[in-house]
Amino acid sequence: MSGHEGVIEFEGVGHAYGDRVVLEGIDLTLTERRVAFVGLNGSGKSTLARMINGLVLPTSGRVRVDGLDPAESGAAVRRKVGFVFTNPDSQIVMPTAGEDVAFSLRRSGLSRSERARRAAEVLAEHGLDGYADHPAHQLSGGQKQLLALCGMLVLDPDVLVCDEPTTLLDLRNKRRFVELLGRLRQRVVLVTHDLDLLDDFERVVVIDDGRVVADDEPAPAVKYYRDLVR
């Protein structure tokens, strides 16, 4: 990935559901490889993250990924941006792990055998070697989250947005998942409540009541957030 791929820009971004303002006046340019959004429930952090690939569109301002606006070029942006949800069961759609990852390649033009081969490779690369024929919904919670991640990584996006992906995991699997994110070539935007997992991130953005209230390296940003919570 070159230094320009995956650059994310928010310009005067706001969002409202009816009369309820969720985000207001967000101006950010994200160029770091590892960025985290933290904030209380209802702060707007997940809404902001979902704007990166057009799952949510701003009601004011603009979002750009590599200069592309998800509101205007949604398909092109989604080819660049993979999204991992909190609950992997919401992403797993096929009976076996291999079939589920291969399903992501259904529009790739690859043959069925080539899709299966590529799926097995990606599973092996990310901790699920030998699980291609395993029933997907019988995997452990940690394995399911790895499977959801593999379903995105097989498409080789430039950006990976993860919306509280460790919420349902125990501490060991939380650390394993975040360590795996640290090894990826992709630019990662992580929405999380797990503050102890952010030491290796380059930047932490604190969202409160729909606004950016802190934007710094992990230690000072997390301290600000802890003080805010108190």
3-state DSSP helix/strand/coil percent for the chain, to nearest 5? 35, 25, 40
Cα dist from 167 to 94, 147, 182, whole Å: 23, 16, 18
Q: Which CATH code, of 3.40.50.360, 2.30.40.10, 3.40.120.10, 3.40.50.300, is assigned to 8-229?
A: 3.40.50.300
In a 10 Å sphere around its CB, with 0-12 CB exposed, 13-18 middle and 19+ buried, how is residue 211 labelled? Answer: middle
Answer whether residue 4 shows pLDDT above 60: no
Are 216 and 224 in contact, with CB atoms under 8 Å apart? yes
pLDDT per residue as tens digits for the range 5-31: 679 999 999 999 999 999 999 999 999
Q: Are 207 and 38 in contact (CB under 8 A)?
A: yes
Instruction: State the pLDDT at residue 5.
Output: 67
Residues 6+ apart with CB under 8 A from 219: none
> In the structure encoding, which two tokens stand for residue 74, read together?
């949604």
How wide is the angle at C-alpha 103 spanned by C-alphas 99 and 106, nearest 5°?
135
On the question of pLDDT at 1 being above 50, the answer is no
What confidence score (pLDDT) does residue 222 get?
A: 97
Residue 22, C-beta contacts closer than 8 angstroms, at least 6 positions apart: 15, 16, 44, 47, 210
Write down the pTM of the prediction.
Answer: 0.93
pLDDT above 60 for 195: yes
Report the share of the chain in percent with pLDDT over 90.
92
CA distances from 136 to 60, 101, 112, 219 (A): 40, 10, 19, 38
Torsion of CA 183, 1, 82, 85, to 10 degrees: 30
Mean pLDDT of 92-114: 95
Q: Cα–Cα distance between 169 and 197 in angstroms, integer?
A: 13
